[in-house]
Amino acid sequence: MRRKLIRRFEKLVFILEMIIVAFIVIGIIIGMTDFVYYFRDLISAETNSYELFEAFLAYSLILIVGIELILMLLYHSTRAILELILFVIARKMLVYSHTMLDLVLGTLAILMVFAILRYLLPNEAEHDIVRKVEKTYLPNVKMADIFEDWDESYDYPLDMTVADYILDQSKELGQKVEVTTAVGYKDKHIEVLELDEEGNISRVSVY
């Protein structure tokens, strides 16, 4: 009962996120039409061209921040969040930094983000502190831990892993296991998201 309730809330949250993403996309598309006016003003401006170009940069970067926000909502990854922060800092530096202290602090902030991306953010997806909240799983997770009714599937062992299930179903269907390969379980789909260097399943998604 508790797991079903959690899944319903997860679906509701996902729907709300997609609605927000849709509105952001619409806003970005509408906002891009203002580029025409900025170009017109830049071409026709005889004075204050620096201020106009500064406003143009500010407008461009806020649209980029909007795009990065969409990616963050879609992928829920630590890397997407850090890249969003990077663009926010860059916009702050390029548009609103008027003193040397602002530039120094902005540069240090960017260096910190790059250091995190380079040295502290693992390449392995299973260590991503944000992606753990998604409906993605490691290959050794048991099907019984994902699906409540797995114990009713008498044709399969109770301790069968999700990777073994994908391999078994793919063999029956005669399909090669690769990224985007998907098999079904009742009304759900289990899709391969990532393979390791040896071609073994390293992460799957259930939807």
Res 2 pLDDT > 70: no
Give the H/E segment covering residue 137.
strand 136-137
Cβ atoms of residues 76 and 84 within 8 Å: no
161-200, pLDDT tens digit by residue?
A: 999 999 999 988 888 899 889 999 888 889 998 888 888 9
What confidence score (pLDDT) does residue 201 get? 92
How far apart are the C-alpha atoms of 139 and 70, rounded to whole Å?
Answer: 28
* Dihedral pair phi/psi, residue 34, rounded to 5°: -70, -15
Mean pLDDT over the full length of the chain: 81
Within the chain, where are the H helices?
A: 2-32, 35-44, 49-75, 78-96, 100-115, 143-146, 162-173
Domain edges within the chain: 1-123, 128-206
* Dihedral pair phi/psi, residue 197, rounded to 5°: -65, -25
Instruction: Please give the full DSSP string across 99-135, using - where no structure is assigned.
Output: SHHHHHHHHHHHHHHHHIIIIIS-SSGGG-TTGGGSS
What confidence score (pLDDT) does residue 134 get? 59
118-169, pLDDT tens digit by residue?
A: 777 655 444 454 454 457 788 888 888 788 766 656 567 878 899 999 999 9
Q: Which residue has the higher pLDDT, 29 or 37?
A: 29
54-78, pLDDT tens digit by residue?
A: 888 888 888 988 998 888 888 777 7
Tokens of 108: 């240090």
Mean pLDDT of 22-35: 90
How far apart are the C-alpha atoms of 18 and 21, rounded to whole Å?
Answer: 5
What is the architecture, at CATH level 2, of domain 128-206? 2-Layer Sandwich (3.30)
Which residues are CB-contacts of 31 (< 8 A; sequence separation ≥ 6)? 59, 63, 66
